[in-house]
């Protein structure tokens, strides 16, 4: 069998298309979406794939097997493949699927194995259960198409809601930066008088019943430098306000339109109406794409990474997206720099610049690990494994942001969310 790129192992199956002669999977791997099509030949299973979503296939006439595939494979993780079968890891255990060629037609055979043995129904049991149903709406092409469209709209609505929440967080961060800069104007003299290690600047108002102006700063850097960074951060973020507002408006409108389309799909009674709704939905979904690149598009020629300040005033670089991760790791970083990433989840590449033969300070390592956790899918967890290795020990893959580690160490991070927020406030 043709080798499967390692980034596909562990990829989440988002959609299953079961055709007359092959199987297509829409997969999500860290930082991107891809598709894989599996078919059989005299030499065994063969695979091809690409970026984006798979093309429609001639529908498999066996509706029972189509339901079985969707029920147990959508949401599963791609585990491994061999010339005779493909394995998927589901919450119930490991599911093995094989395709057998016969008279030019491929007959899917799904069977539980390993951990899943005895936990999933067999194909015959599923058929017996389906036979008991007098009227199966899935056998009606219009009902099937309606349900497929409704599921697609519901998935896009969830993605849009998540992105809208993230954009609202961006707007809140802009307002906070603006407020901090407003306070900082009254604290210039206080910053000049403050000593190293100061955690908060205070300026008395000089007016009775008026609270003094207070602003927390990073004690690891000089107070005047900390104040300059407050102004710089506010200037940078406020410049993005127009983009954030426009993005918020477009996502809100898209979400409302998705809801209307979902209602219309529920009542659609013929294929022509469903086809028109699907075309409208696809066009809107493309415009409301929720990739990380959309949130940084206005940046143009910006650096492919964000810069934060860790222990000792050292810079910590964090990739902005999957493509920017690739640029940060293989174009910006040097071989002696340290690379970090939350283990086995999607996330940003984190790089700390080190001189040759320099040992990584433990406090700086912990700061960088906290940022690796925050900019990953494990952001809300309290205990996360973070892998790290010198950049020179990495090998790049064709997939943007995908790497192979030839040597690694792992640190178990007990996340201090308050400390993470302090690190985020140091962004330059």
pLDDT higher at 18 or 139:
18
**pLDDT over 50 at 375, yes or no:** yes
Residue 388: pLDDT band with limits 50, 70, 90: very high
**pLDDT over 60 at 139, yes or no:** no
Q: Are 258 and 153 in contact (CB under 8 A)?
A: yes
Token pair of 91 as six digits: 């919450």
**Which of 53-57, 278-282, 344-348 is least confident?**
53-57
Record the pTM: 0.41
pLDDT higher at 155 or 129:
155
Residue 57: predicted pLDDT: 73
pLDDT higher at 284 or 331:
331
What kind and span of H or E run contains 299?
none
pLDDT tens, residue by residue, 191-222: 888 888 888 998 887 666 778 888 888 888 88
Residue 364: predicted pLDDT: 93
In this structure, what are the phi and psi dihedrals at residue 261, rounded to the nearest 5 degrees?
Answer: -60, -40
pLDDT tens, residue by residue, 140-197: 677 878 888 888 888 888 888 888 888 888 888 899 999 999 888 888 888 888 888 8
Return the half-sphere exposure (C-beta side, CA atoms, 13 A cut-off) of residue 37. Answer: 15
Q: Who's near 402: CB < 8 A, 6+ residues apart?
A: 5, 6, 7, 29, 30, 31, 396
3-state secondary structure at position 157: helix
Q: Scan for tokens 């306070």, then name that residue.
A: 183
pLDDT tens, residue by residue, 253-277: 888 888 888 888 888 888 888 888 8
Helices H, strands E: what count in the chain?
A: 10, 18
The percentage of the chain sitting over the pLDDT mark of 90, rounded to a whole number, equals 8
Residue 340: predicted pLDDT: 94
Residue 16: pLDDT band with limits 50, 70, 90: confident
Residue 102: predicted pLDDT: 45
Residue 317: predicted pLDDT: 94
Q: Are 66 and 18 in contact (CB under 8 A)?
A: yes
**Rg, C-alpha atoms of the chain:** 26
CA 415 – CA 369 distance, rounded (Å): 9
Residue 316: predicted pLDDT: 93
Arithmetic mean of pLDDT over the chain: 78
3-state secondary structure at position 106: strand
**Which of 58-62, 209-213, 296-300, 340-344 is least confident?**
296-300
pLDDT higher at 400 or 204:
204
Q: Report the range out of 4-18, 298-312, 341-355 with the highest average pLDDT.
A: 341-355
Q: Are 176 and 208 in contact (CB under 8 A)?
A: no
3-state secondary structure at position 220: coil
Residue 369: predicted pLDDT: 94
What kind and span of H or E run contains 294?
none
Residue 44: predicted pLDDT: 66
Q: Are 57 and 18 in contact (CB under 8 A)?
A: yes
Q: Report the range out of 61-75, 95-109, 286-300, 304-318 with the highest average pLDDT.
A: 304-318
Residue 372: predicted pLDDT: 93
């Amino acid at each position: 069998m043709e080798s499967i790129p390692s980034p596909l192992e562990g990829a989440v199956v988002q959609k299953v298309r079961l055709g007359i002669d092959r199987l297509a999977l829409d997969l999500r791997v860290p930082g991107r979406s891809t598709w894989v099509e599996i078919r059989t030949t005299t030499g065994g299973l063969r695979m091809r794939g690409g970026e984006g979503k798979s093309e429609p296939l001639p529908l498999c006439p066996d509706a029972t097997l189509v339901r079985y595939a969707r029920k147990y494979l959508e949401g599963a993780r791609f585990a491994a493949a061999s010339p005779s079968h493909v394995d998927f890891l589901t919450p119930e255990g490991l599911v093995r699927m094989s395709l057998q060629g016969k008279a030019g037609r491929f007959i899917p055979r799904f069977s539980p194995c390993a951990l899943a043995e005895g936990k999933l129904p067999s194909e015959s049991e599923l058929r017996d259960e389906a036979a008991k149903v007098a009227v199966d709406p899935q056998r009606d092409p219009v009902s099937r198409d309606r349900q497929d469209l409704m599921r697609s709209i519901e998935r896009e609505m969830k993605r849009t809601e998540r992105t809208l929440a993230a954009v609202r967080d961006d707007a809140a961060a802009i307002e906070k930066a603006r407020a901090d800069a407003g306070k900082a104007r009254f604290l210039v003299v206080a910053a000049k008088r403050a000593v190293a290690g100061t955690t908060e600047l205070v300026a008395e108002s000089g007016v009775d019943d008026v609270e003094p102006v207070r602003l927390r700063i990073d004690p690891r850097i000089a107070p005047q430098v900390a104040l300059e960074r407050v102004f710089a951060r506010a200037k940078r973020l406020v410049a993005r306000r127009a983009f954030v507002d426009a993005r918020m408006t477009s996502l809100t409108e898209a979400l409302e339109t998705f809801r209307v389309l979902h209602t219309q799909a529920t009542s659609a009674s013929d294929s022509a109406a469903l086809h028109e709704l699907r075309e409208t939905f696809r066009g809107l979904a493309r415009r409301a794409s929720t990739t990380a690149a959309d949130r940084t598009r206005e940046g143009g020629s910006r650096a492919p990474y964000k810069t934060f300040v860790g222990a000792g005033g050292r810079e910590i670089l964090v990739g902005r997206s999957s493509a920017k991760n690739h640029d940060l790791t293989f174009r910006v970083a040097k071989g002696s720099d340290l690379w970090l990433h939350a283990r086995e989840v999607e996330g940003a590449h984190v790089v700390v610049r080190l001189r040759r033969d320099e040992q990584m300070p433990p406090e700086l390592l912990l700061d960088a690990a906290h940022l690796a956790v925050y900019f990953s899918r494990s952001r809300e967890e309290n205990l996360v494994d973070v892998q790290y290795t010198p950049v020179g020990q990495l090998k790049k893959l064709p997939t943007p942001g995908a790497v192979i580690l030839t040597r690694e160490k792992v640190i178990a991070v007990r996340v201090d969310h308050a400390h993470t927020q302090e690190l985020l406030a140091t962004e330059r």
